[in-house]
Structure 1
């Protein structure tokens, strides 16, 4: 009788162990599927990844570099892509910024999620020690992680540009001395909070805000429509042109 009870206990333990193993494997598989479903770049973004008369484009396993052949600025730009978006999707706006003489580097994130490497931009800065002033730009999750990087490295950056993004409350930048530009689309359907409700996390007298009328969340990049987003009433090109012009005005005023 005692032996039977022991056998039953062993049987149930075996079932529990197998069940937990199945759950763990299922969770891992689910996570891998999720992490592998990044939004790919559209054709027009891929087309500007070739070097030209004005810009040299270099790709490595860690970043994409847009280097103007007539570099006129001592400031460089680091760009953090949005979550689950392939970095090439941001080629258009970053190449346009580089055309004005800025060295621009898009950082490739692990699993296309900046949350896994919020300080990866430090490797870029170490690669270009001659740069005097750094601006970091980020879209969506990439913007939040850029803000986290700034929060943890307050003397490393001159400017922070947030595209449809805001800092976490734990990364409050309201007392920071950094210059901030916040741009968002009027019809954004992805953000958890409206941008105006998060502005208290940014420096009061050093923050510039632009709402793009008719813009949405996804049109800052070139990766198609995004789940949960609202349709824009302006074109993708229009939103990106407004974004680039505003960033260049912001950088030029510093």
Structure 2
């Protein structure tokens, strides 16, 4: 009886530790410390939410482009709301896609049902696994998208986009514990020929969104706000270049 009691105690302690670790890990995937009014409508920006997406639409814009943003795997899509809203303030309509079960690898193709991608002016991209699936979607639909951006991902790894001339931006972080600089460089040869690579010095994987520090990620040397601003500036400059090219060539 005493042995069974010890075994029961051990099992209880063990499963309690596992449960606590699970809850802690899951909590890091939730949106945290979001700026106030991120999802609030204003005269300049309208924010609409459905089961499939959150759209940030500027009241006035001279830009032809619309952005399709894929969330990271398991992450709360709202963690990317601040970045999308900043882009909307610069005149770019941004569609933040909400993946079923938060898994882009299984739900990314619904984008074809949400948008007329064959006749629109779309730039597509995402963070982590969302970046992977954005690259996959471009690979499956050659010549459709006007640009591709990848944030905090070692992909494309399983596909080769090196023959594509799509404008591409790849943002990677110095202390990314899930997509290291070495992994990014290893797969550099599979990126589109017109790719600009920018390293966020001092940044990590988690701070590409308003998230907790994800398991296996390294600690950053810059603040969340600093990494978000650096990411925004690079992405905005990329979008301006793509939009200018479209206008210039009358597309």
Is 1:136 the equivalent of 2:124? yes
Is 1:201 the equivalent of 2:190? yes
* Structure 1 gap segments, 5+ residues each: 1-32
Q: With the length of structure 1 as denominator, give the TM-score of the two structures.
A: 0.80
Secondary structure in structure 2 of the residue aligned to 1:243: helix
Residue number in structure 1 paired with 2:63: 73
Secondary structure in structure 1 of the residue aligned to 2:215: coil
User: How far, CA to CA, are the matches of 2:218 and 2:240 in structure 1?
Assistant: 32
Secondary structure in structure 2 of the residue aligned to 1:194: helix
The aligned runs of 1:181-196 (5 Å cut-off) are: 181-191=169-179, 194-196=183-185
The aligned runs of 1:116-135 (5 Å cut-off) are: 116-126=106-116, 132-135=120-123
Q: Residue 65 of structure 1 contacts residue 103 of structure 1 at CA under 8 Å; is this kept in 2?
A: yes
Q: Please report how far the alpha carbon of residue 121 of structure 1 lies from its aligned counterpart in structure 2 after TM superposition.
A: 2.1
- Of the three residues 152, 161, 185, the one matched with 1:164 is 152
Is 1:238 the equivalent of 2:226? yes
Secondary structure in structure 1 of the residue aligned to 2:138: helix
Is 1:110 the equivalent of 2:110? no
User: How far, CA to CA, are the matches of 2:131 and 2:47 in structure 1?
Assistant: 23
Secondary structure in structure 2 of the residue aligned to 1:66: strand
The aligned runs of 1:1-254 (5 Å cut-off) are: 37=26, 39-44=29-34, 47-126=37-116, 132-191=120-179, 194-204=183-193, 206-254=194-242
Secondary structure in structure 2 of the residue aligned to 1:182: strand
- Max radius of gyration: which structure? 1
Aligned residues: 219
Secondary structure in structure 1 of the residue aligned to 2:38: helix
Q: Residue 45 of structure 1 contacts residue 88 of structure 1 at CA under 8 Å; is this kept in 2?
A: no
